[in-house]
């Protein structure tokens, strides 16, 4: 295993309390080939920006945004195996038409309430996005999966928002029942088909405290025709066990074959993080089933995996490829995966070096030493 650390990430801004925040929060990964000098080139992106742990105010969940005007961005990385270095090649800041900044603020009431470090309410942004997964198209444009809607966002090669697919408009309406902060987490493109995967089971039907989501092990994979702007298929993916309750990312290995990162919320040698090979062939296309089963208020997420056969549903077939913890990849948030030649590559989300804690009187955030990392696993570890 080869590990790279982004030792000197550039600054992305300063908080109101005067703390300088460095680039981080990487999520999603695409391998772009080698540079003329033989360096491995990758594309990743940041999520919605530097934030602290949420807290409850009455029935609302408040989320502190430490740099409220932070602009999510695409990051191009270069990994030099000989020198053991990881560097930022360039950044593309995401924008809306007419050059307006694209923001990471929540979209509407019912989502987390955005606040400043000291608790002052920030406005919702109907076009904001918590960007988590990325696909690069042949024309140089980008499709990005985000968690809020959840939605798929199409950006030009220059990073300008072109179009949006959202629940009820290109995507299944039931996706609106995603658990808070658990929308699309992984995304990859194969030809004209984009594969998006929800981070955790939908809270469907909607339940108090997202109980139905937390009790379920069924996660949905959505296959979208990016040319026709419509959902072609939905598939049921079964989480391995209660040890892993969320998805990290996915990549395309071959037509109809995906690699999926499944993880828990822990770091270190006792954490649980694995990669599974997923085969779509033979799995039931949920898109063809009744809304009583797969629509809003349907029974799919309430169904135990062993009872799916009674509904005539075959989930995707999966097999373990590699145990990342045993391979030495120990950060909590493994949120990017792609095949890089003979290597299997991963990137991690370090939360912009923030530990989550926040003094709401001073606005000072708790920091941690973790920096963005990239890992390469050689073929003998993962190709079986």
* pLDDT tens digits along 90-137: 999 999 998 899 999 999 999 999 999 999 999 999 999 999 999 999
**Is the predicted pLDDT of residue 244 greater than 90, yes or no?**
no
DSSP codes, 187-208: EEEETTEEEEEESS----S--G
Token pair for 309 = 């056969």
Query: Is the separation of the CB atoms in 172 and 207 below 8 Å?
Result: no
Instruction: Return the CATH number at 267.
Output: 2.115.10
Strand-pair partners of 223: 195, 233
Q: Please state the pTM of the whole predicted model.
A: 0.97
With respect to residue 5, please indicate whether it lies within any of the assigned structural domains. no
pLDDT in tens, 169-214: 999 999 999 999 999 999 999 999 999 999 999 999 999 999 999 9
Does any domain span residue 1? no
Residue 185 lies in a domain: yes
Residue 98 covered by a domain: yes
Could you tell me if residue 119 is inside a domain? yes
Question: Binning pLDDT at 50, 70 and 90, where does residue 383 land?
Answer: confident
For residues 212 and 356, what is the distance between their CA atoms, to the nearest angstrom?
27
Give yes or no for residue 242 having a pLDDT over 80.
no
What is the dihedral angle through the alpha carbons of 58, 182, 269, 274, rounded to the nearest 10 degrees?
160
Residue 269 lies in a domain: yes
Q: Is residue 350's pLDDT more than 80? A: yes
pLDDT band for position 279 (50/70/90)? very high
Structure tokens at 131: 């960007």
Q: What is the three-class DSSP state of 381?
A: helix
pLDDT at 185: 98
**How many CA atoms lie less than 13 Å away from 303 in the CB half-sphere?**
23
Of 295, 350, 336, 299, nearest to 23 by C-alpha is: 350
Q: What is the dihedral of CA 11, 12, 14, 20, to 10 degrees?
A: -30
DSSP 119-141: -PBPPP-TT---EEEEEE-TTS-
Q: Is pLDDT at 243 greater than 90 in this prediction? A: no
Q: Residue 2 falls within a domain, yes or no? A: no
**Using a CB cutoff of 8 Å and minimum separation of 24, what contacts does 81-90 make?**
81/2, 81/39, 81/40, 81/376, 82/38, 84/2, 84/4, 85/4, 85/7, 86/4, 86/5, 86/6, 86/7, 86/372, 86/373, 86/374, 87/6, 88/6, 88/9, 88/10, 88/23, 89/41
Rounded mean pLDDT, 211-232? 97
- How many domains in the chain? 1
Binned at pLDDT 50, 70 and 90, residue 370 comes out as very high
Q: Give the start-end residues of each E strand in 212-316.
A: 218-225, 230-238, 246-254, 257-263, 273-279
Within-domain flag for 217: yes
Q: What percent of the chain has pLDDT over 90?
A: 98
- Residue 34 binned pLDDT confidence (cut-offs 50, 70, 90): very high
CA dihedral sign, ordered 19, 9, 65, 359: negative
**Containing structural domain, residue 317:** 10-382
Q: Does 264 have pLDDT greater than 90?
A: yes
Q: Quick check: 333 pLDDT over 90?
A: yes
Share of the chain above pLDDT 70, in %: 100
Question: For residue range 2-19, what is the model confidence (pLDDT) as tens digits?
Answer: 999 999 999 999 999 999
pLDDT at 133: 98
pLDDT band, residue 245 (cuts 50/70/90): confident
């Amino acid at each position: 295993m080869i590990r790279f650390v982004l030792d000197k990430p550039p600054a992305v801004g300063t908080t109101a309390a005067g703390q300088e925040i460095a680039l981080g929060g990487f999520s999603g990964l695409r391998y772009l080939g080698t540079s003329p000098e033989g360096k491995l080139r990758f594309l990743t992106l940041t999520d919605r920006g530097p934030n602290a742990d949420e807290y409850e105010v009455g029935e609302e969940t408040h989320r502190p945004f430490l740099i409220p005007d932070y602009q999510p961005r695409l990051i191009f990385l270069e990994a030099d195996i000989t020198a053991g270095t990881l560097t930022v090649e360039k950044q593309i800041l995401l924008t809306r038409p007419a050059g307006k900044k694209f923001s990471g603020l929540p979209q509407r009431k019912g989502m987390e309430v955005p606040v400043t470090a000291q608790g002052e309410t920030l406005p919702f942004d109907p076009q904001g996005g918590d960007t988590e997964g990325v696909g690069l198209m042949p024309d140089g444009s980008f499709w990005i999966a985000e968690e809020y809607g959840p939605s798929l966002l199409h950006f030009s090669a220059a990073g300008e928002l072109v179009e949006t697919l959202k629940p009820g408009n290109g995507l299944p309406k039931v996706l609106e029942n995603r658990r808070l902060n658990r929308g699309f987490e992984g995304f990859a493109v194969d030809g004209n088909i984009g594969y998006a995967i929800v981070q955790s089971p939908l809270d469907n039907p909607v339940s108090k405290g997202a109980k139905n989501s937390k009790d379920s092990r069924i996660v949905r994979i959505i296959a979208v025709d990016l040319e026709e702007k419509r959902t072609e298929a939905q598939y049921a993916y079964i989480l391995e066990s209660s040890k892993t309750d969320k998805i990290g990312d996915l990549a395309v290995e071959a037509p109809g074959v995906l690699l999926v990162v499944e993880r828990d919320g822990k770091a270190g040698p006792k954490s649980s993080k694995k990669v599974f090979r997923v085969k779509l062939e033979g799995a039931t296309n949920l898109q063809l089933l009744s809304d009583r089963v797969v629509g809003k208020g349907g029974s799919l997420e309430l169904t135990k995996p062993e009872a799916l056969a009674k509904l005539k549903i075959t989930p995707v077939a999966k097999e373990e490829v590699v145990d990342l913890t045993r391979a030495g990849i120990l950060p909590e948030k493994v949120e990017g995966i792609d095949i890089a030649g003979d290597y299997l590559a991963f990137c991690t989300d370090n939360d912009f070096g923030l530990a989550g804690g926040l003094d709401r009187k001073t606005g000072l955030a708790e920091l941690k030493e973790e920096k963005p990392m990239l890992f390469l696993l050689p073929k003998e570890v993962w190709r079986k």
